[in-house]
Amino acid sequence: MEQGSGAWSWCFPHLNSSCRRLQQPHSSTLLLYTLLALVSLLTVTLNLLVIVSISHFRQLQTPTNALLQSLAVSDLVVGLLVMPIEGVRHIEMCWLLGRLMCALTPYVSYCLLSASLGNMVLISIDRYLAICDPLLYSSKVSLSRVRVLICVCWACSLLYNGCILIGHLSQPERFSTCHGECVVVISHVAGTVDLFVTCVGPCTVMIVLYIRVFAVAMSQAHAIRLRITSTTVATAAVMVKVSENKAARTLGVVILVFLICFCPYYYPAIAGVETSSILSYFSILSWIMLLNSCMNPLIYAMFYPWFRKAVKLIITFRILQSHSKERIF
């Protein structure tokens, strides 16, 4: 068969049941693989910096940062596994990784998505309590309790997506029409349930909580501007409150970007059709969502001075110095 631009070839030439694919020019393929490698590497590197920063420096080991670290773990695995696999699938226009990986890859991807969503909801609750009920927050929210909630979040994600994808996990090739396809289909009923469980419900919680958080933060900022502080204690209290409000705004940006990238993925369910990986626009929706994993640490770099300082210490290897864990940010 003729090769080159616009030519058709077979995914597995030695198999009569092989799928056909449109052969791309080598220059286009090389460019796409280079772009894929850069995006994946950037995603892994940035999220690894977040994980190392929070793990190494004791001052950064707070309940809020534990949630950011859990989110970074999810984003790192997306960059390390999901992006390369999905990238190869779309560039080659064939599934080359076999039956087992066809079963596991969508499951891993869905689990990471649900875990990220759960972390975002926990971040919203964390900021709501810190801003709107600081006495309850200081007495009830601890690092150990947040870590337990993170473990529960991940466990629920694994269990829930096992139920949603149980048909695909047991028969990953049931919707494939030829050898070289990995088709994931979620029925309209399951897709509608998933829409409310992992989109409408959590997003409503996040939006309502953050509307309340920003309303309280604005009223506090106005009060701070009018307040005349005459003692060191009062000044310190004001500084803590300003810091909390800034953190709330930054995490609000993280959640807003997440919702912008996350919500389009549910368009098939909203449109009343089956969610299927063979839909013409599915790859676009998937990659919009995947690119969010690279955006989160970029937001931290723009808004969090502690992250920029921690990265500088990491890349200059000053974290290897004695007592570097006790460094003050």
Kindly list the averaged pLDDT for each block of 10 residues, start to end, along the chain of length 329.
58 84 84 94 95 93 94 95 91 87 92 92 90 87 95 96 90 84 83 85 88 78 59 51 64 84 80 67 84 89 87 90 80
Distances (CA, A) of 150 to 130, 141, 145, 170, 209: 18, 13, 9, 28, 19
Q: Enter the pTM of the model.
A: 0.85
Residue 265 to residue 114: CA distance in whole angstroms: 13
Distances (CA, A) of 242 to 47, 53, 78, 224: 27, 23, 34, 8
Token duo for residue 148: 């337990």
CB under 8 Å to 193, separation ≥6 — which residues? none
What are the extents of the domains in the chain? 8-326
Distances (CA, A) of 122 to 31, 49, 64, 116, 213: 39, 22, 9, 10, 14
pLDDT digits (tens, 9 = 90+) for 10-21: 888 888 888 888
The answer regarding whether domain 8-326 maps to CATH 1.20.1070.10 reads yes
pLDDT digits (tens, 9 = 90+) for 139-193: 889 999 999 999 999 999 999 999 989 988 888 888 888 888 888 888 778 888 8
CB under 8 Å to 217, separation ≥6 — which residues? 131, 245, 248, 249
Residue 237 to residue 134: CA distance in whole angstroms: 12
